[in-house]
Structure 1
């Protein structure tokens, strides 16, 4: 049976085999960690000098990473088959690809296109529902159209209007038309930004999330033993995505906490303890004498696991995404997440294997805990903060909990936690 891995998957496997961090490999070949992440998940084509540079650093021939077009076609067909409930002769995939390579390429291409469109629907729905800039732009356009319509109605329904007033109304219509043209052009430009994260950042939290995602929640400058908070100022100065003081303040708070975690749990001893503890965060917390939330953050910084932090209102304040587990950029997430269960059980860890909706039904092990943040004063009410680690798993021992991203884009019809109908319709 031919190897079914794609080029990006081969790069990722080779990198992991050498113990290289994604951020380190990206820096050595001159690209961003986010772009390398897209390559490793087969979302960006690769060739030419970049492929040669990656092969040289990974100590393999470029052909070992790029060869296997037939295998890639078979892999694409199998991925497409995995997205449907059944009725597909998976055992005859190679035969079909060999006899009908053109049709096979079409099927695989359409399956990838469907997956891309589903992600696009999620992103656009999230923006339409919660993006304040988009809502303000639409309101501006509608208000201008209404003003033009009212002025036009006066001119059309009044036969003996004074010439001076007529000239004034016409001037108002011209000004409103210019305003409409400007607003519409701005709205089109904003929508044309598509899924580019830099163009879609609309809040300080969003800016900080872009910084976290670009770094993979691993800040090498803060991992050195003798580093001080001066390195935090350097990181903030280099972070172009932090566009205002609010974003910089949030990022500074995040980095100060990251530095404290790195000092309490240095990378090399933590990795060794992680292997010895079998990945048990409770044992690690006891061994290092820190809170469980700090261990979850540290595990996320030193692995490819995802991380979500929310405050007592349920608002997500920090997110490190992981492939297959969609995180909403605005508004509330799925209330069934262990993250929110932990808010109702302070200081008590919550561990649960969850299944995200979709034809593939990806599984993740989530570990969450809610702990109080330091009080601002002695008479201030306690403020809870929940932290959740998200680790991909291959199988669940027992029944996995079906969750989603948010109600608006969740296709699960039967759900006691649903707040509003889904725009995708019931499918699972």
Structure 2
């Protein structure tokens, strides 16, 4: 068992114990060890023997590898990105020193990231000083939510169980899911669902006095259905959602409220796309997103999101990463189980197909990519357009990227006909220019953070940063 894995096991055991609402003494008794010994393990002060590792995995119903797998790579990437900021230009911090920090002191490394997040929020143009009277604390709730989902592998068993119970009741009517969902809301909660002309920018409105759920008649059918399921999730799974948030390490401020909305959306997806049938469809159709979307009456983006949640022990899908960006390169959603690092604060490498997808709207763009560390990934990307169903409605264009480690590529239909072992179709990519060591790249926007460039007056390179001193 390697040392980096040892340093992560304690935190994973503690998280699993808290999710199951187990006291340390109860878990220790079940494992046949003392509570003090378990406390040392959870704080990474004692190594876990192989027999104990298997006992812990068996108690929680997970694979032993799920406890050992390290997230050092993601933490290291985030640190590299942070130390690539210009404020550290004269610090002479080396990549080796950053790696040592991530591996030897992960708690301190995460604290540095939180401090850097706060710094960015304070220095963001147009942001009020936190010292100003009445100013809100800077928690960067969206980053906190991304970390929260990553820590939970974007899988919440209590919400899956709640969705399965509700879906079983909904399906008893024998009607289509949409009709049965409306009937369920009316019969069980007294809420009537109606399509309506709502004020501009309002997708859904709940009239509590009349117990009416009004859904905008300008929405695509799959969006309208999802919003109805989302309302049910908020109303029926409040205790489960509150319990997950209470057991989390989310900061105060906006993050808990945003997490509640995200978890209600998670439950909505689990209602529309039930776990077992959805996983079966993914395997039968080999992750053909558009075919699966038609099967469940969902959108392309909804299916991609749902695919990342298939982490049930003994019945899991491909470990995927997902990124959503706009045409300006702003990343609004990021999650990775594939191992690829997605930038925390800046746009990703321009060679990623998530950007090239904008050149061929609504077509699947396929890419075999290799990161500077040699790891290879199979990635697909497609643009989506969002906007009202009305003439001359403004549209928002985004790109969704989904991918996996190269050894899972054959499980996806998009890999058919591709040479996954050779280098002919391989695209070298990085995380971001400031932490990418590829000096030969012609698309560099910045030199690497730990280098300086020198210009040769007799030769003009294709890329200004291609010749680094």
Provide the TM-score with structure 2 as the length reference: 0.51
Kindly state the Cα deviation for residue 125 of structure 1 after the two structures are TM-superposed: 4.2
Q: Does 1:244 align with 2:253?
A: yes
Alignment partner of 2:322: what SS?
Answer: strand
Supply the distance in 2 between the matched residues of 1:117 and 1:251 (Cα, whole angstroms). Answer: 25
Q: Does 1:276 align with 2:284?
A: yes
Are the structure 2 counterparts of residues 193 and 6 from structure 1 closer, same or farther at C-alpha, using a change threshold of 3 Å? closer
Unmatched runs of 5 consecutive residues or more in structure 1: 11-22, 32-43, 67-115, 139-191
Supply the distance in 1 between the matched residues of 2:388 and 2:256 (Cα, whole angstroms). Answer: 22
Supply the distance in 1 between the matched residues of 2:325 and 2:86 (Cα, whole angstroms). Answer: 17
Aligned position for 2:148: 211
Give the alignment of 1:4-403 within 5 angstroms. 52-58=51-57, 120=76, 123-127=79-83, 129=85, 193-196=108-111, 201-202=117-118, 203-223=140-160, 224=162, 225=164, 226=166, 228-230=233-235, 231=237, 233-234=241-242, 235-245=244-254, 247-248=255-256, 250-303=258-311, 304-322=319-337, 324-358=339-373, 361-375=374-388, 381-394=394-407, 395-396=420-421, 398-403=424-429
Supply the distance in 1 between the matched residues of 2:378 and 2:18 (Cα, whole angstroms). Answer: 27
Supply the distance in 1 between the matched residues of 2:54 and 2:299 (Cα, whole angstroms). Answer: 41
Kindly state the Cα deviation for residue 261 of structure 1 after the two structures are TM-superposed: 2.1
Q: Is the 8 A contact 2:430 2:436 kept in 1?
A: yes
Supply the distance in 1 between the matched residues of 2:74 and 2:258 (Cα, whole angstroms). Answer: 32
Kindly state the Cα deviation for residue 354 of structure 1 after the two structures are TM-superposed: 0.8
Q: Is the 8 A contact 2:75 2:110 kept in 1?
A: no
Q: Is the 8 A contact 1:307 1:320 kept in 2?
A: yes
Aligned position for 1:41: none
Supply the distance in 1 between the matched residues of 2:383 and 2:301 (Cα, whole angstroms). Answer: 8
Kindly state the Cα deviation for residue 45 of structure 1 after the two structures are TM-superposed: 7.3
Are the structure 2 counterparts of residues 8 and 413 from structure 1 closer, same or farther at C-alpha, using a change threshold of 3 Å? closer
Q: Is the 8 A contact 1:281 1:292 kept in 2?
A: yes
Count of equivalent residues = 290
Supply the distance in 1 between the matched residues of 2:245 and 2:86 (Cα, whole angstroms). Answer: 27
Q: Is the 8 A contact 1:408 1:420 kept in 2?
A: yes
Are the structure 2 counterparts of residues 409 and 242 from structure 1 closer, same or farther at C-alpha, using a change threshold of 3 Å? same
Supply the distance in 2 between the matched residues of 1:117 and 1:295 (Cα, whole angstroms). Answer: 27
Kindly state the Cα deviation for residue 229 of structure 1 after the two structures are TM-superposed: 1.4
Aligned position for 1:19: none
Q: Is the 8 A contact 1:198 1:210 kept in 2?
A: no
Between the two structures, name the one with larger relative contact order (CA 8 Å, sep ≥ 6). Answer: 2
Q: Kindly provide the CA deviation profile for residues 113-151 of structure 1, in whole angstroms up to 9, marking residues without a partner as x.
A: xxx8997586144255289xx99xx9xxxxxxxxxxxxx
Supply the distance in 1 between the matched residues of 2:329 and 2:358 (Cα, whole angstroms). Answer: 8
Supply the distance in 2 between the matched residues of 1:25 and 1:263 (Cα, whole angstroms). Answer: 26
Are the structure 2 counterparts of residues 128 and 242 from structure 1 closer, same or farther at C-alpha, using a change threshold of 3 Å? same
Alignment partner of 1:194: what SS?
Answer: helix
Unmatched runs of 5 consecutive residues or more in structure 2: 7-14, 24-42, 66-71, 92-106, 119-139, 167-231, 312-318, 408-419, 452-465
Bigger Rg, structure 1 or 2: 1
Are the structure 2 counterparts of residues 193 and 55 from structure 1 closer, same or farther at C-alpha, using a change threshold of 3 Å? closer
Are the structure 2 counterparts of residues 291 and 56 from structure 1 closer, same or farther at C-alpha, using a change threshold of 3 Å? same
Provide the TM-score with structure 1 as the length reference: 0.56
Alignment partner of 1:372: what SS?
Answer: strand
